[in-house]
A and B are shown apart, each in its own frame.
Chain A
């Protein structure tokens, strides 16, 4: 994993700003998201580094999930939601009128807070994405590969045709991760993926994220600071102002943000003085 990063780093080393990365999959520039008259997040500029885990932390209501949803255009589904500023994916504007949001979501997948498998078989859940793209051949291999990557294969290999709803909560969430990576996305967005899980299932998902980061870029929203500290490479801390609009306070490599935060606000938050 380290080797991968070393190789990837020199490719695009041109950005001088502190919140930018050497090799960024996603670049956000002055991004604001509004729901009607309400501004949920304001003026966010940051880069999502490739093949790393970026954690978004901050108090409830600071717009972490909103920001996350704007990264694969899931906000398009919410009436009245508007994204301003620019989000570039591999240099291309995500919100360019010529860009098909469906194509965006195939490259940038998402895992939700509550495990939400379809009421279908385990196999059909994982095969859903590939089938959307018209894949008919090699589905068995694709499903097995995704389930292996999601560390679920050994538990379900004998019962691929049984309903996904019969799995435990932690297994369902790993199934949702398998489903998301079955379309082989570039980036996987995770919106508090462990908040409905017990500590053991949570740990398994965190280990899994480590594995996945070798292949995919992960952006995770979490309420749990220990989780951010344990499981991420880079952490961005957001908070909200007087007008309840979220903004970015600080973004840094995770160990630095948690040991020597640059701002008093971050320090107060990570030591539990507010939020």
Chain B
């Protein structure tokens, strides 16, 4: 044996590796910062420009006066968004989760392949096409309204719910299924009482993502919900308003009062999605028990 070298002595290669390590760490930090920059900017600008016009009146009033005047609010848009978003969630979430359960539980069924393919294709369909589709199929016959608006949002949501739910259900450990079967559970009992509860937090998160996406959609609503000046509670037949529709209309306008409202509307929409996400997280955790 040769005399032991001190632990403090570093080989020249080790020094090179340490330098490379620092360089790479630096690059990764820069990449991460660049990636979150748009998010930070969007949130920052929306808060800064939305706050001046954001007040209680904005949340609780409508406006049916000229767009050049200050005041009023987007209550009709909020109600319309919640109404159509809720309707879309009621349609798309149960349908999407059941589809995902079908895809994961019956992988050898001949319809699994086509269902997955079409659901993937639907993810890529531009949202304005969805609006056109519902317009040709329904609006021309039964008119504009909450229902057709909600339906077009549901079509946007469906593939997102299916895709995210499928991924989550696939992650449920096989150990849990086997434990359930070994106790004498049937397939449906295993799915209903083991697989879905174990996946619940993820299913809720995926569904929320879809709701958030639908709440921000403008294009499909232009052709289905159209617009409204006041709070509309009709299910179908009356034009309905939505936050993105109002934002879109006023942000394009030439009047600074309208643009102010549009910024506040954007802030409201952002907060709405945030609140819904927090509530959904909470619910997801409760389901798991």
Contact = CB atoms under 8 A, between A and B. Distances in A.
A120 B193 CA distance: 10
A71 B173 CA distance: 23
Contacts of A121: 289
A120 B183 contact: no
Contacts of B43: none
A109 B288 contact: no
Given A112-B175, A112-B178, A132-B189, A118 B184 contact: no
A77 B178 CA distance: 9
B184 A183 contact: yes
B128 interface: no
B197 A110 contact: no
B171 interface: no
A182 B247 CA distance: 59
B191 to A, nearest CB: 13
Interface string A112-125: 10101111110010
Interface in A131-152: 131-133
Contact of A112 (B179, B186, B288, B289): B179
A131 B197 CA distance: 16
Interface in B244-289: 288-289
B289 A116 contact: no
Nearest to B189: A132
Contacts of A128: 180, 183, 185, 193
A124 B189 contact: no
Nearest to B193: A128
Interface band, chain A: 20 to 34
Interface stretch (A47-55, A98-106, A209-217): A98-106
A174 to B, nearest CB: 14
Contacts of A109: 182-183
B276 to A, nearest CB: 24
A119 B288 contact: yes
B181 A77 contact: yes
Interface residues of B, number: 19
A72 B185 contact: no
Contacts of B242: none
A119 B182 contact: no
A131 to B, nearest CB: 8
Interface in B173-206: 173, 175-176, 178-186, 189, 193-194, 197-198
A119 B175 contact: no
A116 B194 CA distance: 12
A139 B182 CA distance: 20
A129 B179 contact: no
Contacts of A102: 184-186
A114 B197 contact: no
Contacts of B182: 72, 74, 105, 109-110, 112, 180
Interface string A73-106: 0100100000000000000000000000011011
A81 to B, nearest CB: 14
B195 to A, nearest CB: 10
A119 B171 CA distance: 14
Contact of A183 (B178, B181, B183): B183
Given A124-B289, A128-B193, A118 B185 contact: no
B34 to A, nearest CB: 37
A220 interface: no
A119 B176 CA distance: 9
A245 B131 CA distance: 62
A264 B217 CA distance: 76
Contacts of B179: 112, 116-118, 176, 179
Nearest to A119: B198
Contacts of B175: 112, 114, 116
Interface string B196-225: 011000000000000000000000000000
A105 B186 CA distance: 10
A81 B54 CA distance: 65
Given A112-B175, A114-B175, A132-B185, A120 B180 contact: no
9 contacts: A74-B182, A117-B179, A118-B176, A120-B197, A120-B288, A129-B183, A129-B184, A180-B182, A183-B184
**4 closest A-B pairs by CB:** A106-B184, A110-B182, A116-B175, A105-B184
Given A102-B184, A120-B197, 16 more contacts: A72-B182, A77-B181, A102-B185, A106-B183, A106-B184, A112-B175, A112-B178, A116-B178, A118-B176, A118-B180, A120-B289, A121-B289, A129-B183, A132-B183, A179-B179, A179-B183
